[in-house]
Structure 1
Amino acid sequence: MDLTGLTAFALVTALLVMSPGPNGVLIARTVPTSGKSAGFANIAGFVAAFYVHGTLSILGISVILVQSAAAFTAVKLLGAAYLVWIGLKALHAAWRGGVSQVAVAPARRERTLARAFVEGFLTNALNPKVSMFYLAAFPQFVSHGESAAAAYALVSVHSSINVLWFGSMVLLFSKVSQAARGPGFQRGVKLVTGVVFIGFGLKLATQRAPV
């Protein structure tokens, strides 16, 4: 993968990571009661789930490319439709200006590191948004003929962005979480997400199947 493709992937994943979702909620519930270590255990669970999703996706890509060009086209169009759908939803949300200001209550009981890890893992392993990302969007960024190591490098990029964003949230919990829930931040992320995802979706729809 060239630098342009890597940058595009990093931009897409960064927008997904910064969008409000269950990972931020889990951090908000865990850290006040169980401390920073448990918050980082949550993040370790996130990363482990990404590698599980990534492995399944990489194995699937190999099968699809070997089977037929028609199968490749089906996955390509699914990925393009997914990105456009996410983009349209984000633009609609930004246009309406509706943002979530619901307070997240801390967990009542302290989490052990093992339990915090498992909660982080399950939150992402069972999250339909993460599954759809690795099923439909992730394959679009893996070029035909690239090694599994190159594909895993993309999983590592996704994981690193998660560690940076949610790690900052753990270390500066009150400030970062408050800013991330702010109406201006949420609306800005949704607007940029909408434009970028629709653009990528349309571009991927015109991508040719490998010969």
Structure 2
Amino acid sequence: MLDRRIILGGIFVAMSAGGAGAADPPSGEALAARLVEAMGGAAAWRKARGLRIAATHYEPDLAGPYDNVLAIALDSPRMRFEGRSAWGMRRTRAVVGDRGWRVSEVSALGPMTPQQVKGDLDWWEAHPYRNVRRLAVGDPGVTPRVGAGGRLELVRPDGSQLMWYRLNTQGEPFAFGVGEATTGTVLGPLEAVPGGVRLPIWSTRMDGTFRGSGQKGQVMPDWPQVDWEKP
């Protein structure tokens, strides 16, 4: 009969060998590389300077769905939103740098307040697709790290958290959030779009207060050709 000490010693050696051979968890840089690759690859994102997304949006406090067209510059604070609906929505606003304008079916054309402009600039800074490009070009303004539950977090130079992504095993984002918020937006499956990248086909806030379906996006080598100034 084998000595019990020999048996236990063999078990200990086997467990130790298994632990030593186990793969280390991925770093923030590795997760970021997976994300960029899953969404079309660094080469395609480096060429992109503009983004356009058309989708149907649903919000519970509105009379019905509306068609929304978003146009943004990926390398400069420049964005334009246009919403149209069968029930009468006619809303457009644009922000370029530190100024913006807006017009709608219920308000005349006029400038946006500084608070409104800041809200859009904060949204632009943390936009999930824009930050994929920032990772692809090696923007020093964001540093990737591993956060709670293995999520990918992006950190500003001052140490504050800009945003986070949840990735599946293929590196595809299925959720993202802004800052340190515990809730955010769920993203649908990715599909190839003009410009050589891959973008989600739908999105929805985790609390259901926003849903976007039929998303058709594209990236381009220059800013979108839209009217940035007041109409």
Of structures 1 and 2, the one with the larger relative CO (CA 8 A, separation 6+) is 1
Name the TM tier (shorter chain): under 0.3
Using the size of structure 2 for normalisation, the TM-score is 0.24
Which structure has the larger Rg? 2
User: Per residue, is there more helix in 1 or in 2?
Assistant: 1
Higher strand share: 2
Q: State the TM-score, normalizing by the size of structure 1.
A: 0.26
